[in-house]
């Protein structure tokens, strides 16, 4: 019993000594450090908290230089001392990125509010006003030779100074782009017979270059049923502007048709030549789109020369035929009697039809019998009718003011199908007439009798 009383204290002492030695070994492997928290969220552990303070000071200095005035830290970090092994310490090079995502810096800025909603922030009120003026200028859509008489925003737009996150403050150019580009609404479009990249771009208020980039196209060749992705901008503000301008316009020559029973086809007896006139006009635009067009004054510079065509009456039953070269002869009646104001292939080769002058309300007639396959509003074309004549031939009649037939109707040559107008992208009442054969645009003059 006496022996046991001596051994037990010795064992207890040895255990205590081993515990003490092990604790010192563990402590010797750990180092004093600081756990950094922002908004109570642990971020990382550093040995020297001065590195954190230096990083914060650098962030604030950079933001103050970018914005141009004082920036305050909204969520300061807290530090908790810890003992950790060396592998738990965060590398100094990683600290800035980890803090940038969590730090919240605030500053006084000018908010641009549209219908009460804050859309963009600028460093101060003068900068916000400059951004609004530049956005208005870009959305006016002013052309060469035009002057702005009046421009106003249709939305309720206000500028208000408030405390905001410094990350929301944009440079002037970025803010203008944001307001003008607006939100994008991507859509899918399925290519139909007769479509071209230029026509699709025109109907969706975008550019051929944009369509090619968005769809990784290397050429403008399209396939029936091909799906295209189209993104068109929708500005956050709407600018209504009244502009005045002066331009020189062609006075289209008229075409006189002389019927002659002694011939079986037609020939041109005298070439037509356009005249010129000086036109002063006033336009009302919304974000560059013409809503109203008013001619203020016209003065003739030179008179047009009439085109004279001799038409053989024996050609009335002639069926349209195609040569191996793809040129076509006869077959279609004139949809509107009037002067040609713009020929096929003009405007840098982008004009896919020809324009025939007319007054609003004048009757537009079917160039040939067929079936009405569409009668709707289509972007820059305005109100447009398409007639399928069979054998891959279609005709289109654009900028109409009114339809006289509906989709599915069977029409005959010469039947009134619509009325002349100036809908869509048009600077005056006229008919834009297109001929499409086998999915490709053709010169209407090669088809008209």
Residues present in the chain in total: 449
Domain ranges of the chain: 26-103, 108-181, 184-233, 317-449
Q: What pLDDT was estimated at residue 194?
A: 67
Q: What pLDDT was estimated at residue 8?
A: 63
Statement: residue 382 has pLDDT above 90: no
- Ranking 81-90, 136-145, 329-338 by mean pLDDT, the lowest is 329-338
> What are the backbone angles phi and psi of residue 36, rounded to the nearest 5°?
-95, 130
Confidence of residue 315 (pLDDT cuts 50, 70, 90): very low
Reported pTM: 0.54
Structure tokens at 366: 């079917």
Q: What pLDDT was estimated at residue 1?
A: 52
- The DSSP secondary-structure symbol of 76 reads -
Structure tokens at 355: 């324009």
Q: What pLDDT was estimated at residue 269?
A: 82
Cα distance between residue 167 and residue 22, in whole Å: 51
Mean pLDDT of the chain, nearest integer: 83
Second CATH level (architecture) for the domain 184-233: Roll (3.10)
- pLDDT 10s digits, 327-345: 334 578 889 988 888 888 7
- pLDDT 10s digits, 145-197: 888 898 899 999 999 999 999 999 999 999 998 898 786 656 788 888 767 77
- Ranking 99-103, 105-109, 300-304 by mean pLDDT, the lowest is 99-103
Q: What pLDDT was estimated at residue 326?
A: 32
Cα distance between residue 288 and residue 137, in whole Å: 10
Q: What pLDDT was estimated at residue 219?
A: 77
Structure tokens at 364: 């537009």
Confidence of residue 348 (pLDDT cuts 50, 70, 90): low
Confidence of residue 309 (pLDDT cuts 50, 70, 90): confident
Statement: residue 314 has pLDDT above 60: no
**Are residues 395 and 437 in contact, defined by beta-carbon separation less than 8 angstroms?**
no
Percent of the chain's residues with pLDDT above 70: 85
Task: Tell me the C-alpha to C-alpha distance, in Å, between residue 229 and each of 65, 283, 439.
Answer: 41, 33, 21
More confident residue, 431 or 346: 431
Confidence of residue 319 (pLDDT cuts 50, 70, 90): very low
Cα distance between residue 449 and residue 434, in whole Å: 15
Statement: residue 409 has pLDDT above 70: yes
More confident residue, 22 or 198: 198
Which stretches within 172-240 are classed as H helix?
Answer: 172-181, 197-203, 208-214
The fold adopted by the segment(s) 317-449 is Glucose Permease (Domain IIA) (2.70.70)
Mean pLDDT over 247-255 rounds to: 76
Q: What pLDDT was estimated at residue 24?
A: 58
Structure tokens at 435: 């001929």
Helix axes 125-140, 172-181, angle to 10 degrees: 40
- pLDDT 10s digits, 203-228: 776 767 678 777 888 777 888 888 88
Statement: residue 324 has pLDDT above 70: no
């Amino acid at each position: 019993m006496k022996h046991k009383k001596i051994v037990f204290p010795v064992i207890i002492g040895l255990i205590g000594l081993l515990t003490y030695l092990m604790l010192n070994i563990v402590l010797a492997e750990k180092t004093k450090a600081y756990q950094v928290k922002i908004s109570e969220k642990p971020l990382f552990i550093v040995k020297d908290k001065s590195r954190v303070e230096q990083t914060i000071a650098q962030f604030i200095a950079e933001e103050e230089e970018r914005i141009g005035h004082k920036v305050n830290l909204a969520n300061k970090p807290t530090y908790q001392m810890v003992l950790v092994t060396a592998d738990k310490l965060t590398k100094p090079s990683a600290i800035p990125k980890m803090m940038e995502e969590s730090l919240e810096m605030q500053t006084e800025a000018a908010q641009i509010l549209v219908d009460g909603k804050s859309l963009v922030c600028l460093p101060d009120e003068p900068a916000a006003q400059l951004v609004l003026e530049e956005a208005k200028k870009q959305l006016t859509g002013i052309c060469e030779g035009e002057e702005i008489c009046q421009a106003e925003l249709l939305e309720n737009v206000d500028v208000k100074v408030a405390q905001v996150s410094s990350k929301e403050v944009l440079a002037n150019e970025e803010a203008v782009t944001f307001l003008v580009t607006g939100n994008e609404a991507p859509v899918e479009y399925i290519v139909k017979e007769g479509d071209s990249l230029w026509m699709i771009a025109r109907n969706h208020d975008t550019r051929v270059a944009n369509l090619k980039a968005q769809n990784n196209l290397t050429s403008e060749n399209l396939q029936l049923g091909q799906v295209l992705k189209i993104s068109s901008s929708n500005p956050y503000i709407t600018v209504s502007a009244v502009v005045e301008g002066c331009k020189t316009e062609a006075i289209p020559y008229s075409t006189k048709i002389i019927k002659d029973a002694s011939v079986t086809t037609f020939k041109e007896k005298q070439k037509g030549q356009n005249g010129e006139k000086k036109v002063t006009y006033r336009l009302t635009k919304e974000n560059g789109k013409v809503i109203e067009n008013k001619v203020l004054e016209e003065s003739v510079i030179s008179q047009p020369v009439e085109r004279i065509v001799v038409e053989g009456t024996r050609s009335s039953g002639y069926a349209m035929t195609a040569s191996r070269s793809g040129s076509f002869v006869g077959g279609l009646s004139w949809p509107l009697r009037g002067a040609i104001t713009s020929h096929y292939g003009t405007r840098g080769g982008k004009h896919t039809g020809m324009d025939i002058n007319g007054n609003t309300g004048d009757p537009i007639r079917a160039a040939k019998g067929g079936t009405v396959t569409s009668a709707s509003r289509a972007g820059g074309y305005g109100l447009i009718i398409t007639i399928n004549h069979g054998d891959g031939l279609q005709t289109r009649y654009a900028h109409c003011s009114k339809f006289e037939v509906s989709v599915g109707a069977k029409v005959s040559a010469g039947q009134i199908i619509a009325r002349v107008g100036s809908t869509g992208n048009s600077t005056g009442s006229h008919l834009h007439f297109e001929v499409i054969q086998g999915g490709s645009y053709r010169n209407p003059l090669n088809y008209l009798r």
